[in-house]
Amino acid sequence: MPLHRRLPKRGFNNLFGTEYSVVNVGTVQKALDEGRLNAADVITAEVLVAAGLVRPSRDGVRLLAKGSITAKVAFDVAGASAAAVAAVEAAGGSVKLPPVEEAVAE
């Protein structure tokens, strides 16, 4: 019997699932304070990877609300939590998300 059939199979791997790199607003604020990011630029996934805050991901970057942000920053990310969007907008910034695709009912 081949080795791949003898080894146990565990869990479920969704081939169609999305896998985001995650960054928190507190981490972004710390990078802004250290000078690794510029608040005047739009912060995209490529900028975050170049600054060393996230690793490259197939599906992009998701912004989460852990920590606090005080700088006025514009984000262009693949996803964001509602609390993260509220925190960025409270600081005077903006979050641009891709349009949501609606499911077609048959």
Q: What is the CATH number of domain 20-96?
A: 3.100.10.10
Q: Give the domain ranges of the chain.
A: 20-96
pTM equals 0.79
Answer whether residue 84 shows pLDDT above 90.
yes
Q: pLDDT of 43-64, one tens digit each?
A: 999 999 999 999 998 899 999 9
Rounded Cα–Cα distance for residues 67 and 61 (Å): 17
For residue 7, is pLDDT > 80? yes
What's residue 106's pLDDT?
62
Residue-level pLDDT at 100: 78
Sequence-distant contacts of 68-72: CB under 8 A, at least 24 apart: 68/25, 68/26, 68/29, 69/25, 69/26, 69/28, 69/29, 69/93, 70/29, 71/29, 71/32, 71/39, 72/39
